[in-house]
Amino acid sequence: MILETPFLFRDAAGEWHELDPGTGVCLAPVLALYGQSVAAVDVRDRGALVIDFHDGAGLWIGPDPQFESWHLTGHGVASLMVGPGGEDGWDR
């Protein structure tokens, strides 16, 4: 997964953090996700990516009006991305 715009991170205790890729040390809270199992992945509305983890943590990455906001790829997963302004048709 590649995140290219600001996003929200919910830690396992339920506290939300607003984070921005490229801010270095400020992204430290997300390191808690390393090794965690994904419970659910959903794409909502115009391309908001929502990922929930088994420990209660989560990510919310909304569409950006000017830039690609996220790109998801992996073993057994078709490559997905949301472009500038979001995308229609996610409610398949």
- At 16-71, the pLDDT tens digits run 999 999 888 889 989 989 999 999 989 888 889 999 999 999 999 999 999 899 98
Non-local (6+) Cβ contacts of 2 within 8 A are 70, 71, 72
pTM: 0.85
Helix (H, G, I), strand (E, B) or coil at 42: strand
| DSSP category for residue 41 | E
pLDDT band for position 12 (50/70/90)? very high
Per-residue pLDDT tens over the stretch 63-91 = 999 989 998 888 877 888 888 888 776 65
Cα–Cα distance for residue pair 82/38, rounded to 1 Å: 20
Non-local (6+) Cβ contacts of 31 within 8 A are none
Domain ranges of the chain: 2-82
Cα–Cα distance for residue pair 5/69, rounded to 1 Å: 5
Instruction: Note the pLDDT of residue 58.
Output: 97
Helix (H, G, I), strand (E, B) or coil at 23: coil
